[in-house]
Amino acid sequence: MNFSNRLKELRQKHNVSQQELADLLGISTRAWRFYESGEREPNIARLITLADYFNVSLDYLVGRSDKARR
């Protein structure tokens, strides 16, 4: 699974809106939609924030592993 699909899956699983996650990262909702569509990728600091928020490993978040927990 690629990053954009994994990100959308996690957001939906945790029942959180795009706006809430955009606010968490300090970005616009439009920028968040770019992440979910695969048009852009967050920097490492934002990836870490997302991994911590969803309580998953970075490898899982970016699609390098199917093992969610650290």
Which CATH number applies to 3-61: 1.10.3720.10, 1.10.260.40, 2.60.120.10, 3.40.50.11140?
1.10.260.40
Judged on CB neighbours under 10 Å (0-12, 13-18, 19+), 10 is buried
Record the pTM.
0.91
What pLDDT digit, counting tens, does each position of 17-68 carry?
A: 999 999 999 999 999 999 999 999 999 999 999 999 999 999 999 989 888 8
* CA 35/CA 27 separation, integer angstroms: 11
